[in-house]
Amino acid sequence: MMNGISNYYNNYSNSVNAMNQLKLQQALNKLESKNSSSNSVSSGSSTSSLNSGSATFLRNYNSAMSDLMSSANSLRDVNSAGVNNTLTVNSSDKDVLTATKNYTLRKEESFDVSVQQLATAQQNVSDALANNGLATQDAKFSIETAKGSANINVSAVGTNGARKTNRQMLNDVAKEINRQNIGVRASVEVKDGKSTLKLTAKETGTDNTFTVSGQFAEDNGLNNVSNAAQNAQYSVTDDSGNKREFTSSSNNVSLDYGKASMTLKSVGDATVKIGVSNDTIADAVKDLVDKYNKALSVVSANEGRGSGVKNQLNQMLRGPMPEKSMELIGITKNSDGSLSLDKDKLMEKLEEDPDFTKDLISGTHGFAQGAYRAAETAFSRSANSLIGSDLKQMQEDSSADTMNLMHRFSRSGAYNLTNFYSVGLLMNMLV
């Protein structure tokens, strides 16, 4: 009796050990599968672990369709934060002036700006002196500015007791002026073997003039104004025809009561528009075309994975909108279904007929809305439909693995109808 009990428990122990070994091996196999695929998915499939190809495809599919939806949404009229509802400030001639917004803009406006004169800074330039000639006098003079005065005193003799060259002398004078920081910048210009001392006001406008006095300044022409300071002069005419004249000590001026800023660059005329930039729209359309082609490439390369991919491909091959409509905005469909954009043609259409062109791009039946629907449909397709063929193969592989497991278990000696506990353990594991 004791021997029977002992044998029973020995068999029981062996069975448990065999089961544990099988469980360990199964766990290791799953771990290896996860490591090779770097992904696990359970979207209605009969298995939670996908092979590497399926997992990579689903990641790429999700990424491509997310990018497509985001790009399309940025162009839709219904998106209050989209391109068509984000007002910017643009200059028709950036050589005359540039413009930027300071605050959130609420309505489209335009301003005709005429620049008659730029703000300039005063500049004094000394007489040219031979670089290697010896300085003949100490630099003693004063500079008066709106910010204060500075007394300059630089010796013509160096610390070594030797007389400085003209170039050395002017460099030392420039250093001393800049050290005192009175709103005047000093520099030495060397050309054709001669040096000149140049004094320039740090700020433009007639409020920032300066005077130079003293024997050294008079002897070397440093007291003479080479370029006089002047204020900017410009006019602004709004949409209603109201014209206003302005002067400014700076070339950086405000527009529309501070809502925008302008930097005056040269004399001339330019129009400042507060609205949606055609360049911005064209860039957004180019981005959408690129995103559409990328998404099309992903589904086209994986057509055989499932019915959902095939259906998505067929939808995208038809295009976001009729071909003739796309051609009106410079978009053509290639033989493989991909899209090409003629940006110059699009810009031309935006200039010629902005309202109609923008409607073709962003309206209810426009290009962006069609691309958005394609992405929306893509996300509505189940994982089963996207990788149905892969899942079928995986199920077949799984069934084969289960039969192999049963075979291995029977060979272990544990598969015995009289050993009900061991059989139960096996069934629990398989289920």
User: What is the spatial distance between Cα 178 and Cα 393, in angstroms, rounded to a whole number?
Assistant: 80
Q: For residue 406, what pLDDT band results from cuts at 50, 70 and 90?
A: low
According to DSSP, residue 306 is labeled -
| Percent of the chain's residues with pLDDT above 70 | 79
Listing DSSP states for 89-138 in one string gives EEES-TTTEEEEESS---S-EEEEEEEEE--B--EEEPPPEETTSBP-S-
Helix (H, G, I), strand (E, B) or coil at 403: helix
Helices (H) and strands (E) in the chain, counts: 13, 18
What is the average per-residue pLDDT within 100-127?
A: 92
Helix (H, G, I), strand (E, B) or coil at 281: helix
423, pLDDT greater than 60: no
User: What is the spatial distance between Cα 74 and Cα 84, in angstroms, rounded to a whole number?
Assistant: 8
Least confident of 121-125, 335-339, 387-391: 387-391
217, pLDDT greater than 90: yes
User: What is the spatial distance between Cα 128 and Cα 191, in angstroms, rounded to a whole number?
Assistant: 9
User: What does pTM read for this prediction?
Assistant: 0.59
Residues 6+ apart with CB under 8 A from 235: 113, 114, 116, 243, 244, 245, 246
Distances 414 to 3, 6, 420 between C-alpha atoms, Å: 19, 17, 10
What does the domain layout of the chain look like in residue ranges? 2-50+387-430, 55-84+279-385, 87-119+231-275, 123-227
420, pLDDT greater than 60: no
Q: Which CATH architecture has domain 123-227?
A: 2-Layer Sandwich (3.30)
